[in-house]
Structure 1
Amino acid sequence: MSPTPRVQVLGPFRQRSFRFQWPADLATSWAFEMETLILGWYVLTETGSVVWLTSFAALQFGGTLISPMFGVVGDRLGHRRLLVGMRAIYAALAAVMATLALTGTLGIAAVFALALLSGLVRPSDIGMRNALIGATMPAPYLTGAMGIERTSADTARIVGALTGTALVAWLGVGHAYLVVVGLYATSLLLMLGVEDARPSRAAAGGQPIGSVWFDLKDGVSYVRGTPPLLAAMCLAFFANLVAYPLTGGLLPHVARDVYGLDQTGLGRLAASFATGALLGSIFLGARGGQLYAARTMLAAALAWFALLLAFAVVRSPVAGMAILFLIGTVQSFCMVPMSVLLMRVSRPGFRGRVMGLRMLAVYGLPLGLLASGPLVAWIGFAGTVALYAGSGLLVTLAIALGWRDHLWPKDAPANARHSHTDGQPR
C-alpha cells in the first residue's frame, strides 16, 4: 500500500537528521542566493559590462572541476563532516566581504578574488547534501525528501531575490552582507545536529587506505558502466550549459537592458522563476513517489527548453515573469527526479562519488555563461536564447533515443518506485 500524500510530505521529518539538515541547507541556500544577486548587481553597476557580469558568475562555479574529489572525501570521512567544513569556509569568506564593504575598501578585484575562492567549494554543496540524504533517508521517503530538499534552493531564490536586492538598496552592501554571515553561521550550528552516516570501508570501494585517485577512478568507471547514471549526467551537463545561464547569470542583463527594470525588478524576475520551482518541488514532495523518475525527467527537460524559446521573444516584463514561473516549475520536474534516479540506481558506497561527478556536470554552467556574454554582444539576447534552447532540445531528444531502453520502460531501474540499493549492493 502506497503512503498517502500527507505521509509522503511529513515522513522525512520523522528522521532526526533531516530535521536538522533541511533548515541548515535552507539557511545556506538563502545566503547563496543573496550573495549572487548582491554581488551580481554590484559588478554590473560598477563595470557596466555584461561580459564582466558573466565572468563573475562563471567564477562561482570553478570548483566543479574538483567536485568529484569532494565526493571521494565524503565517502571516506562522512558527508556531514565535509559539509560542516565547507560551511565554515562560506562564513569566513562572507565575513571578509562584509568587513571590506563596511570599511569602504571593497572593489571589483576583491569581489572577483573572493568569488573565486568561494567558487572552489560552493558547487559541491548540493551534491553532498543529496548524498547525505540518500545515506540517512529510508527508501519510502526518498522522493519526498528530495522534493523538500529542493525547496531550500527554491525558497532561497524567492527570499534571496526579494530581500537581497532590497537590503542593498536600503542598507548598502556591507550591512546586507552581515545578514549573509548570520545565515552561514546558523547553518553551521544546525549541521552539528545532523547524523554522520559514514559508509563502511568495504562499501566505500573495497580499499581501506587506498589512493583517493583509485577511488575516483572507481567512481568514474561505475558511472560509465551504469547507463541510467551516464544518461542523467549528460542531461545535467547540457542543462547547465544551455539552460541555467539564461535564467541565472544573465538575469541582471535581462532586467536592466531587455526590460528596463531596476534592482527591485530584477528581484521580481528571479522570484518568479523561484516561485514556479518551489511549487514544482512541493508537488514532487507530496506526490513525486507516484511518478516514473526517468520519464518525468525527460519530458520536463523538453518542456523546459521549449519554454526558453518562448522566453527569447517576449519583451513585456509581465509576460517574462509568467514564462519564468513556468520554466521554474518544469525545471523542478526535471532536476528532482534526476536526483532521485541517481540515488536509487547508485550503490550506497558510491553515492558520494556519483553526486560529486553529478556536480562536475555543473561545469557546463560557467562554460555557458562565458560563451553567452560575447554571444549576447554579437547576436543579441534573443538570438543567444534561441541558439541555446534549440541545442538543448536536440540534445535531450538524442539522450532519450540513445538510452531509451534504460530510461523509458516502466520496469527499468531508472523508473523504479523504490530504491534498488537499500539491501545488499548489486
Structure 2
Amino acid sequence: MGTRGAFSSLRASPGFRWLWCSNLFFFCGTWTQTLILGWLVFESTGSEFLLAVFTSVRLAPMLLGPVAGVLSDRYDRVRLLVVACVWALVAVSVVAAAESLFTVPYWLLLAGGLVLGLSQSPSQPARMALVMDLVGRENLSNANALNAMAMNMTQVVGPAIGGAMISAVGAEASLWISTAWYGVSLAALWPLRGRASVRKTAASDADRESVTRMLTAGIRTVLTNRLSAAVLGVTLSTNVLLWPIFQGFMPAFAAELSLDATGLSWLLACSGVGGLVGSLIIARLGDFRFKGGVFVIGTATWGGLWTLFSLSEVLPLAFTLMACIGVLSAFFGVLQTTLLLMTTEPEVQGRALGIQELAIGAIPVASLGLGAVAEEYGVRATTVVSSLLLVIILTAVAIRVPRLLAFSGKGD
C-alpha cells in the first residue's frame, strides 16, 4: 500500500474519508431509529408477533438487492446515496412529527420500518461499489475493513444510544434527535458530488438498455464466473446457516448459560469488540495475498467456533469463544465484499453486490426454519448441525474451486 497503517485509506483518499463519515452517521441513525420504532411498536401493541412482523418488514427491502444493483451500475452512485439520505430524513421526520401530534398507529410504525429499509438496503450496492471507485483495487481490502468497522460500531453504539435517549428524553424526542443524523450524513456526501470517479455502465448504451435486460445480463455474467459464484455461494450459506443463529438465538444461549439480561449484553459486547478487532486486523494487513484462502478457511473456522460455543458450559470459555467469533465474522464480512468486487468486471459490480444483498436477505426466512428446528431439538443441537453443515459446504467449495483459495486479487 502507498500509505501504511490500518487507517491508510482514510488518510490517502479524501473522497473515501467523506464517504466513511457519511456511512457512520447514516447507519448510526438507521440502527438507532430501528430500536426506537421497535420500542414504540411493542409499547403500543404488547405483541411479540407484531414486533416480529415489524422486523420482517424492516428487512424486506433486502430482497430488492438485484434491482438496486442495476441502479448502481446505471446511475451516478453518489446521487443515489444522496437520494437515500433525503428519503430517510424526510420520511422519518414525518413519523416523528406524527408522534409529536398523536399516538402513532401500528400501521404507521410499520411504514416507518419499511421506509428505513428502503433507504438502507437498496442503496447498499451503490454504497459498497463506490468504495472501489474512490480508493482503487489496491486499497480495497483496507477500505472495506474500515467500512466494516464503522458498521460494527453503529450496530453496537446505535441501539445503545437509542435506549439511552428513550430513557432520558422519551421516544418522540429521540426520533427527532436521531433524524438529524441523516442531515450530517447528507452533508458529508456533498463534497463528492461531481468529483468522485463514479463509473457507469457504458453510459449511453446503459441508458438505452432496459432495467430487465441489464438485470438478467448481470446475473448471468456474475453467476457464470466460477470465482464470484463461489463467493456468493459462501455468502448465501452463512446467511442461511449461521447469521440467523446469532441474530435470533443469543437470548436462548444466555438462558442455557444461566445469564441474565446484563450477562447477555456482555456476551454480545464480546462479539462486538471482536468484530472491531477483526476489522482492524484486516485493515492493517491491507492488500495481502491469498484473500480467497483466508475467506474460505476463516469462514470454516468461524463455523467450527460456533460448534464449540454451542457446546460450552463454562462462562469464561463461552465469552472467549464469542470474542473469537466476532473477529472471524469481521473477516467474513470484509472479504465477501472485497472478493466479489475483485472477481467481477467493473460494469457489473453493482449488480453483483445486489445479488449479495439478496443472499443476505435470506436471513429472515432462514430464521423461521432454524427456529422451528430449535423448538423441536434445542438450540445447541441446531447450532452444532448448522455450523457443521457450513464447514462441509466450505470444504466442498475448496475442492471444487481451488482457484479461490489461491486468489489474491493481484492480477489473478
TM-score bracket for this pair, using the shorter chain length: 0.7 to 0.9
Letter in 1 for 2:347: G
Equivalence map 1:109-258=2 (5 Å):
109-194=107-192, 195-202=195-202, 206-251=205-250
Shift in Å, 1:201 = 4.8
| 1:29 is aligned to 2:27 | yes
User: Structure 1's 205 and 173: CA in aligned 2 closer, same or farther, altered over 3 A?
Assistant: same
Distance 1:255 1:185, change over 3 A: farther
Residue 315 of structure 1: CA displacement? 6.0
Q: Give how far 1:329 is off.
A: 0.7
Q: Which amino acid aligns with 1:215?
A: M
Letter in 2 for 1:199: R
Query: How many residues are treated as equivalent by the alignment?
Result: 410
The range that moved more, 211-220 or 168-177, is 168-177
Shift, 1:120, TM fit: 3.5
Question: Conserved in 2, the CA contact under 8 Å of 1:62 and 1:116?
Answer: yes
Q: What residue identity is the alignment partner of 2:404?
A: L
Instruction: Report the Cα distance in structure 1 between the residues aligned to 2:51 and 2:377, rounded to whole angstroms.
Output: 18
> Per-residue deviation at 1:40?
4.7
SS, match of residue 199 in structure 2? coil
* Deviation of the 1:106 alpha carbon: 3.5
1:54-133 pair list within 5 angstroms: 54-103=52-101, 105-133=103-131
Match of 1:280 among 278, 281, 304: 278
Q: Given the two structures, how large is their TM-score scaled by the length of structure 1? A: 0.85
Query: How do residues 276-425 of structure 1 correspond to structure 2 at under 5 angstroms?
Result: 276-314=274-312, 320-404=318-402, 406-408=403-405, 410=406, 414-416=407-409, 418=410
Does the CA contact (< 8 Å) of 1:64 and 1:124 recur in 2? yes
SS at match of 2:362: helix
Residues 1:397 and 1:150: Cα distance change in structure 2 (over 3 Å): same
Change (3 A) 1:252 1:52: farther
Distance 1:296 1:370, change over 3 A: same
Deviation at 1:51, TM superposition (A): 5.3
Does the CA contact (< 8 Å) of 2:54 and 2:113 recur in 1? yes
- Root mean square deviation of aligned Cα: 2.9
How far does the alpha carbon of each residue in 1:140-176 deviate from its partner, in whole angstroms, 9 at most, with x for none?
Answer: 2222111111111011123124323333333332233
**Distance apart, 1:306 and its partner CA:** 1.7
Secondary structure (helix, strand or coil) at the match of 1:415 reads coil
Change (3 A) 1:125 1:234: same
Closer, same or farther: CA 386–106 of 1 in aligned 2, 3 Å: farther
Seen in structure 2, the aligned counterparts of structure 1 residues 383 and 90 have a Cα distance that, compared at 3 Å, is: farther
Distance, in Å, in 1 between the alignment partners of 2:263 and 2:108 is 27
- Tell me the distance in 2 between the aligned counterparts of 1:419 and 1:51: 51
CA distance in structure 2 between the aligned counterparts of 1:50 and 1:135, rounded to whole angstroms: 43
1:212-247 alpha-carbon deviations (Å, 9 max, x no partner): 111111111111221110011111112112222222
Residue 288 to residue 368, structure 1, CA distance change in 2 (3 Å): farther
Q: Is the 8 A contact 1:51 1:373 kept in 2?
A: no
Q: Does residue 1:271 correspond to 2:269, yes or no?
A: yes
Instruction: Provide the residue aligned with 2:260 in structure 1.
Output: 261
Native 8 Å contact 2:249 2:379 kept in 1: no
In structure 2, relative to structure 1, the CA distance for the partners of 1:385 and 1:154 (3 Å cut) is same
Q: Percent of pairs identical after alignment?
A: 23
Task: Please report how far the alpha carbon of residue 42 of structure 1 lies from its aligned counterpart in structure 2 after TM superposition.
Answer: 5.6
Tell me if structure 2 keeps the 8 A contact 1:71–1:352. yes
- Give the letter for the 1:240 counterpart: N
Separation in 1, partners of 2:248, 2:296? 24
Determine the C-alpha separation between the residues in 1 that align with 2:317 and 2:273.
15
* Distance (whole Å) between structure 2 residues aligned to residue 276 and residue 259 of structure 1: 22
More moved, 341-350 vs 383-392: 383-392
Instruction: Give the 3 Å change call, closer, same or farther, for CA 88–10 of structure 1 in structure 2.
Output: same
Distance 2:250 2:42 in 1: 11
1:190 shift after superposition: 1.1
Contact 1:55 1:369 in 2 (8 A): no
Structure 1 residues 311 and 279, CA gap change in structure 2 (3 angstroms): same
375-384 or 345-354, which deviates more = 375-384
Deviation track 1:258-305 (CA, whole Å, cap 9, x = no partner) reads: 75534x655544432221111111111111422421111111111221
What residue is the counterpart of 1:424 in the other structure? Answer: none
- State the Cα deviation string for residues 165-223 of structure 1 (Å, max 9, x = none): 33333333223323321222211221112244332552x69544111111111111111
Distance 1:113 1:191, change over 3 A: same
Please say if residues 12 and 141 of structure 1, whose CA atoms lie closer than 8 Å, have aligned partners that are also in contact.
Answer: no
8 Å CA contact retained: 1:43, 1:53? yes
